[in-house]
C-alpha cells in the first residue's frame, strides 16, 4: 500500500516539474494574412470564405461600431495593452482537406490530436461522439454527419452553414449577442473566422453529444470563433467544447462569441473544459481569453445550462449568461475556475429574469493558488414583469497559498417583489482538520489536497458528461501541482 | 447661488476661511482641486449606478448660514448638542453636564489632537461629495474622550435641517482615547416645514488602543431632504466600534460607512436598517478594510421597501495580503412589500490572504408564506400576520442596539413608520 503511494507521490512530483504537455507547435504551412486590421482585411476574409453579401455588411457594420468603442477596463484583471494591429486575422492550413476518412487527413494533424489525447476513431467508437475538429479556424473534418442528418440535425462549420443554410444563419446570427454588445463581441462579429453551427429541429433529441475541439496553432493569430446553437421547439442537445493550445511566448488573443437559442420546451446543455496555455510561472505568455457567451430561453419551459471548467489561459474574461424570456424557463450555471501561478480569471454569469415563474441556479467554485487572482462577477436581474422569479447563487472560493486572491462581485437587481433571491459566498483555505484526517489515514499531503479540491468541485463536475468529468478531474490535479507544500 | 449640476459652480462658490489655521486651508484647497477632477457623481460611476441624482441636482442651492434653532426639540435630561444647518448652536445645546471635551469644530481648530486626526480616516478613492465636504465644511462637532474614561450615558447630537434650498457641509470628529468607552447618537431631522435641504455630513471616528465607540445614526429627514453622509472609522489595536445606521427618511439618502482595521484584534460591527416608502431612495455603501491580522468584522444590513421606494446596498470587504486570521461576515436581507419597489444589492469580497474565514449572504424576497399561514392558523388576521412578520424582520437589527432607551424608541419609531396595525398587538 505504502509503496503504491510512494509511487504515486513520485508521479506527482514528476508532474510538478512537467512542462505543459500540450505545448508543441505543429509545423504545417499555413496561409495567413499579414497582421493588421482594416476594412480591406474584413472584405478579404469575407471573400475568402465566399460569404453571402449580408454577411459582409454585417461584418463591416460591426467593425465600424468596434472602432468607436472603448476597450473595457472594469474587470479585476491586469495585462499589457493589446495591439490589435499586430494580430493576423485569418489563418488556415494550406492543404485544405475535404476528406471522407481519417486516412486522408494530414498525418501531422493527426499526430497533433494524438498528443492532445483526442483519438478521433476511439471517440467515435466508444463515446459515440461526433467530432468537428477546428484546427486554426478552418474545420478539417466532420464525423457522424450522416447519423446526424438522418435525425435532421444540422451540425457543421458556420462557414459552410452560410453556404448551405444562409437563411437560418441570417435569422439567428447576432440576435443574442448583437455586434454592439461589447468590445470583444464587436471585434468577433467583424473578423470571426469560423466555428460551429448547430440546428436541432422541432421535437428532436440529438442522438449524440456534439463536440468541437478548438486549437490555436498559428503564431500571432487571434482566434475568433463563432458558435451558434439553435434548439427548436421541444428539442434537446448537449454540446461539449474543449480546448488546449501550444506553448508560446507571445500572448495570444481569443475572442469568441457563443450564442444559444432555446425555443419552447427546448433544452441546451453547453459544457466547456478550457485548458489553454496559462503562461509560465512568471506569467510570461499565455492566452488572453475574452469570450462572450449568452443564451436565450425564448419560449415557455425552455432550459439552458452552462457548465464550465476553466483551468487554462493567462486571462479569462467570460460570463456565460442566460436571458430567461419564456415563462417557466430555467437557467443554470456551474463553474469551476482555477488560477495558478500568475493566472487571472474574472468570470461569472448573468441571469436576466423576464418571463413569469422563471428560475436560475448559479454554482461557482473558484480555486486560487500561487499568485493567481480569481474573481466571480455575476448579475441576477429580475425585471418588472418577471413574477415569481427564483434564484439561488452560491460562490465558494478556496485559497491555496498566501499570495493569491479570491474575489466575489455579485450584483442583484430586483424590480419585482414576488422575486426570491438568495446569494451566499464563502472564502476559506483548506481546513487543517480535513488535511490531518486524510493524512493520518495514510494519504500524502498532495493527495489529500487533491481529494479535498475534487470534493470542493463535485457539485460542478457531476453536471459534466462522464468522459469530460474524468478529464476535468485530471486537469485540476495537474494544474494544481506545485501549489501545495 | 450654486447650481448643483455644475462642477464649476461649486468651485466658484468656494472661499478660504479667514480665521482658520494654514493646515486646514491647505486640506480645503487640496480637496477642491480633487473635486475639480472628480466632479459630481452620476449614474455612469460604478459606485452610483443605481442612484440617480437628478432630483438633487436640479435645485440651485445657497450655502447655509449660521442661524438659531427655530424648531422645538423634545426635552432631555442628558447631554445634547444641537447643530443647525451645519453650525453648532450652543444656545440650544445642553453639554455642561458632562466632563468631556465636546464642542464646535470651528472653536477647536487650534487643538493638536483635532489637527492630527482631521481627514485621516477618509477613503483614498473618494467621490465628489466627500471632497466637497472637506473643501467646504467649517463646522461640526468634536468629541474627545480622554484615555480610560468610561461614559455611562450616551451623548446625543441633533442635526436640524432648517433653511430651504440651502446646502450644508458638516464635519464631525470623534477621538476616543485608549481604553475609553462612549456612545454617540446622531439624529438627522428636518424642520417642520420640510425644507429642500442638502446636507453633506461626514463623521470621522479615530480610536486609540482598546477604545470602544458605539455610534448611532438615526436619519429621519423629511421627504424633500437630500442627505449625503459618511461615517469613517480608523481602528487601533483591539478597538471595538459599532456603527448603527438607521435610515427612515429623506428623498435621496446616501451613506458611506467605511472602516480601516489598522491594529490587530480590532473589531467592527456594522448594523443597518432601511425602511423606505413613497419615492424614497436610500443608498448604503459599506467598506471594511482588513489591513492587519486577527481582526473581525460583522455586518448586518436589512431593508424594507414599500411603495416606489428603492434601496441600494453595496458591501465591500477587502482582506489585504498580510491580514491572516481574518474573520469577516456580511449579511444583507431585503424585503419588498410593493410591486413598484426595487432593491439592488452588490456584496463584494476581495481577498488577498489565505488563512481567512469570509462569508457573505444576500437575499431579496418577501415574507415567508409558511410563517404567515402559521400565524393565521393561530387566529391572527392576514394583515396582522404581515405586520408582525415585517416588524420581526426589522427587529433583528433593532435587537442589536445596546442602549435600552434607544432600542425602545426605535421599536416605537419603526412600528409607527410602517406598521399602523401593530399598535393593538404590542
Q: Report strand pairing: A130-135 vs A138-142.
A: antiparallel
Q: Which residue bears the cell 487554462?
A: A312
Residue A103 has what pLDDT? 57
Residues 315-374 of B with CB under 8 A from A: 321, 324, 334, 336-339, 341-366
The residue in chain B having the minimum alpha-carbon distance to the alpha carbon of residue A367 is B354
**What are the domain boundaries of chain B?**
2-263, 367-426
**Candidate from B321, B361, B364 with C-beta closest to A419:** B364
Separation between Cα atoms, residue A413 and residue B312, nearest integer Å: 9
Contact at 8 Å (CB) between A269 and A307?
A: yes
Question: What mean pLDDT comes out for the span A106-131?
Answer: 49
Which of B339, B354, B361 is nearest residue A429 as measured by Cβ atoms? B354
Span of A38-47, A467-476, B366-375 with lowest mean pLDDT: A467-476
Task: Give the pLDDT confidence score for residue A214 in this predicted structure.
Answer: 44
Rounded to an integer, the average pLDDT of A190-202 is 89
Question: Cα B209 vs. chain centroid, distance in angstroms?
Answer: 23
* Among candidate residues B283, B70, B85, B77, the one with its CA nearest the CA of residue B170: B85
A396 to chain B: which residues are within 8 Å by CB? Answer: none
A415 interfacial to chain B (CB closer than 8 Å): yes
Average pLDDT, chain A: 80
Residue A219 pLDDT more than 50? no
Whether A132 contacts A227, CB under 8 Å? no
Question: What is chain A's length?
Answer: 485
Which chain A residues in 368-407 lie under 8 Å from chain B, judged by CB atoms? 382, 384, 397, 399-407
Residue A164: all three cell numbers together: 448551405
Substitution target from A414, A431, A433 for chain B, most B beta carbons within 10 A? A414
Residues 6+ apart with CB under 8 A from A121: A102
- The pLDDT assigned to A17 comes to 47
Q: Are the Cβ atoms of B346 and A427 closer than 8 angstroms?
A: no
> Please, are residues A326 and A298 in contact by the beta-carbon 8 Å criterion?
yes
Residues 18-37 of B with CB under 8 A from A: none
Return the number of other C-beta atoms located less than 10 Å from residue B249's C-beta: 24
B170-200 per-position pLDDT tens digit: 999 999 999 999 999 999 999 999 999 999 9
- The CA distance from A1 to the nearest CA of chain B, in Å, is 33
Residue A80 DSSP symbol: P
Give the closest-approach CA distance of A367 to chain B in angstroms: 11
Helix (H) or strand (E) holding B55: helix B54-57
Of the pLDDT bands very low, low, confident and very high (cuts 50, 70, 90), residue A345 is: very high
Question: Cβ A422–B363 below 8 Å, yes or no?
Answer: yes
Nearest-by-Cβ selection for A414 from B336, B347, B355: B336
Measured distance CA(B180)–CA(B174) in Å, rounded: 12
- Distance, CA of A48 to CA of A32 (rounded, Å): 12
The separation between CA A154 and the C-alpha centre of its own chain, rounded to angstroms, equals 21
Question: Is there a contact between A412 and B339 if contact means CB atoms under 8 Å apart?
Answer: no
Which residues of B are less than 8 Å from A432 in CB distance?
Answer: none
The CA radius of gyration of chain B, in Å to the nearest whole number, is 21
Select from B46, B176, B192, B169 the least CA-distant residue to B106.
Answer: B169
Cell of B353: 490572504
Q: pTM of the full predicted structure?
A: 0.82
- The per-residue pLDDT for A29 is 53
Q: Which of A32-41, A85-94, B267-276 has the lowest mean pLDDT?
A: A85-94
Low-confidence ranges of chain B (pLDDT < 50): 421, 423-426
Q: Which residues neighbour B307 within 8 Å (Cβ) at sequence distance 6 or greater?
A: B276, B277, B278, B279, B338, B340, B341
In chain A, which residue's Cα lies nearest the Cα of B336?
A: A417
The nearest CA of chain B is from the CA of A129 a distance in Å of 41
Q: What's the pLDDT tens digit per position in A222-240? A: 578 889 999 999 999 998 8
All residues at 6 or more sequence positions from B326 whose CB lies less than 8 Å from its CB, including other chains: B290, B293, B294, B295, B296, B297, B319, B353, B355, B356, B357, B358
Task: Mark A439-457 as b/e (b = at least 16 C-beta within 10 Å).
Answer: eeeebbebbbbbebbeebb
Amino acid at each position: 500500500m505504502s509503496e503504491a503511494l510512494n509511487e504515486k507521490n513520485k508521479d506527482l512530483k514528476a508532474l510538478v516539474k512537467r512542462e505543459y504537455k500540450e505545448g508543441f507547435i505543429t509545423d504545417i504551412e499555413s496561409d495567413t494574412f499579414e497582421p493588421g486590421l482594416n476594412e480591406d482585411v474584413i472584405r478579404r476574409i469575407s471573400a475568402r470564405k465566399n460569404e453571402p453579401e449580408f454577411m459582409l455588411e454585417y461584418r463591416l457594420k460591426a467593425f465600424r461600431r468596434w472602432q468607436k468603442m472603448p476597450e473595457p477596463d472594469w474587470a479585476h484583471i491586469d495585462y499589457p495593452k493589446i495591439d490589435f494591429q499586430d494580430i493576423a486575422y485569418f489563418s488556415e492550413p494550406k492543404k485544405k482537406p475535404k476528406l471522407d476518412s481519417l486516412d486522408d487527413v494530414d498525418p501531422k494533424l493527426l499526430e497533433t490530436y494524438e498528443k492532445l489525447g483526442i483519438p478521433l476513431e476511439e471517440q467515435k467508437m466508444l463515446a459515440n461522439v461526433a467530432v468537428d475538429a477546428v484546427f486554426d479556424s478552418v474545420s478539417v473534418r466532420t464525423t457522424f454527419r450522416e447519423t446526424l442528418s438522418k435525425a435532421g440535425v444540422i451540425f457543421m462549420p458556420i462557414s459552410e452553414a452560410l453556404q448551405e443554410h444562409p437563411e437560418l444563419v441570417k435569422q439567428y446570427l447576432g440576435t443574442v449577442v448583437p455586434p454592439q454588445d461589447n468590445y470583444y463581441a464587436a471585434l468577433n462579429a467583424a473578423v470571426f473566422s469560423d466555428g460551429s453551427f448547430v440546428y436541432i429541429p422541432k421535437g428532436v433529441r440529438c442522438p449524440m453529444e456534439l463536440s468541437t475541439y478548438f486549437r490555436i496553432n498559428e503564431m500571432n493569430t487571434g482566434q475568433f470563433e463563432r458558435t451558434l446553437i439553435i434548439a427548436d421547439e421541444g428539442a434537446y442537445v448537449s454540446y461539449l467544447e474543449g480546448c488546449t493550445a501550444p506553448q508560446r511566448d507571445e500572448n495570444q488573443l481569443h475572442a469568441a462569441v457563443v450564442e444559444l437559442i432555446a425555443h419552447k420546451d427546448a433544452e441546451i446543455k453547453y459544457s466547456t473544459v478550457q485548458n489553454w496555455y496559462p503562461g509560465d510561472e512568471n506569467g510570461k505568455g499565455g492566452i488572453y481569453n475574452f469570450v462572450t457567451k449568452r443564451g436565450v430561453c425564448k419560449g415557455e419551459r425552455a432550459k439552458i445550462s452552462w457548465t464550465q471548467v476553466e483551468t487554462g489561459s493567462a486571462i479569462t474574461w467570460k460570463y456565460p449568461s442566460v436571458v430567461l424570456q419564456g415563462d417557466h424557463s430555467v437557467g443554470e450555471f456551474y463553474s469551476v475556475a482555477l488560477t495558478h501561478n500568475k493566472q487571472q480569471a474574472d468570470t461569472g454569469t448573468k441571469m436576466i429574469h423576464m418571463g413569469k415563474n422563471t428560475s436560475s441556479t448559479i454554482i461557482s467554485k473558484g480555486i486560487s493558488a500561487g499568485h493567481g487572482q480569481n474573481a466571480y462577477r455575476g448579475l441576477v436581474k429580475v425585471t418588472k414583469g418577471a413574477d415569481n422569479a427564483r434564484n439561488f447563487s452560491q460562490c465558494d472560493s478556496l485559497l491555496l497559498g498566501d499570495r493569491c486572491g479570491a474575489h466575489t462581485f455579485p450584483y442583484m437587481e430586483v424590480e419585482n417583489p414576488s422575486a426570491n433571491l438568495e446569494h451566499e459566498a464563502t472564502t476559506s483555505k483548506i481546513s487543517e482538520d480535513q488535511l490531518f484526517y486524510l493524512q493520518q489515514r495514510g494519504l500524502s499531503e498532495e493527495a489529500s489536497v487533491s481529494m479535498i479540491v475534487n470534493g470542493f468541485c463535485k457539485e460542478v463536475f457531476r453536471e459534466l458528461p462522464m468522459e469530460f468529468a474524468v478529464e476535468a478531474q485530471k486537469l485540476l490535479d495537474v494544474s494544481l501541482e506545485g501549489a501545495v507544500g | 447661488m450654486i447650481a448643483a449640476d455644475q462642477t464649476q459652480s461649486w468651485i466658484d462658490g468656494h472661499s478660504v476661511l479667514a480665521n482658520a489655521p494654514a493646515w486646514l486651508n491647505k486640506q480645503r484647497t487640496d480637496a477642491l482641486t480633487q473635486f475639480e477632477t472628480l466632479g459630481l457623481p452620476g449614474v455612469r460611476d460604478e459606485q452610483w449606478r443605481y442612484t440617480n441624482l437628478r432630483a438633487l441636482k436640479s435645485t440651485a442651492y445657497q450655502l447655509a448660514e449660521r442661524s438659531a434653532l427655530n424648531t422645538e426639540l423634545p426635552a432631555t435630561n442628558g447631554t445634547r448638542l444641537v447643530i443647525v444647518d451645519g453650525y453648532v448652536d450652543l444656545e440650544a445645546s445642553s453639554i455642561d453636564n458632562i466632563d468631556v471635551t465636546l464642542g464646535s469644530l470651528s472653536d477647536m481648530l487650534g487643538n493638536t489632537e483635532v489637527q492630527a486626526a482631521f481627514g485621516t480616516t477618509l477613503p483614498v478613492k473618494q467621490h465628489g461629495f466627500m471632497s466637497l465636504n472637506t473643501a467646504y465644511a467649517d463646522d461640526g462637532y468634536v468629541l474627545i474622550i480622554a484615555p480610560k474614561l468610561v461614559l455611562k450615558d450616551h451623548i446625543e447630537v441633533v442635526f436640524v435641517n432648517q433653511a430651504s434650498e440651502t446646502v450644508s457641509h458638516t464635519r464631525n470628529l470623534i477621538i476616543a482615547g485608549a481604553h475609553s468607552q462612549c456612545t454617540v447618537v446622531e439624529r438627522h431631522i428636518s424642520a417642520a416645514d420640510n425644507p429642500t435641504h442638502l446636507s453633506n455630513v461626514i463623521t470621522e471616528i479615530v480610536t486609540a488602543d482598546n477604545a470602544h465607540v458605539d455610534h448611532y445614526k438615526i436619519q429621519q429627514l423629511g421627504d424633500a431632504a437630500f442627505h449625503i453622509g459618511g461615517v469613517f472609522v480608523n481602528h487601533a489595536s483591539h478597538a471595538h466600534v459599532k456603527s448603527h445606521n438607521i435610515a427612515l427618511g429623506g428623498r435621496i439618502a446616501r451613506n458611506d460607512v467605511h472602516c480601516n482595521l489598522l491594529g490587530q484584534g480590532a473589531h467592527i460591527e456594522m448594523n443597518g436598517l432601511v425602511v423606505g416608502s413613497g419615492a424614497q431612495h436610500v443608498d448604503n455603501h459599506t467598506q471594511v478594510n482588513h489591513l492587519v491580522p486577527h481582526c473581525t468584522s460583522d455586518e448586518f444590513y436589512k431593508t424594507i421597501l414599500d411603495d416606489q421606494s428603492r434601496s441600494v446596498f453595496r458591501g465591500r470587504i477587502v482582506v489585504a495580503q498580510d491580514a491572516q486570521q481574518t474573520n469577516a461576515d456580511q449579511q444583507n436581507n431585503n424585503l419588498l412589500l410593493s410591486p413598484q419597489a426595487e432593491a439592488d444589492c452588490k456584496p463584494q469580497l476581495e481577498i488577498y490572504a489565505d488563512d481567512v474565514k469570509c462569508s457573505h449572504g444576500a437575499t431579496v424576497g418577501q415574507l415567508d408564506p409558511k410563517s404567515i399561514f402559521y400565524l393565521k392558523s393561530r387566529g391572527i388576521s392576514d394583515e396582522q400576520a404581515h405586520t408582525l412578520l415585517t416588524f420581526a424582520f426589522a427587529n433583528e437589527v433593532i435587537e442589536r442596539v445596546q442602549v435600552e432607551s434607544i432600542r425602545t424608541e426605535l421599536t416605537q419609531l419603526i412600528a409607527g413608520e410602517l406598521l399602523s396595525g401593530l399598535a393593538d398587538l404590542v
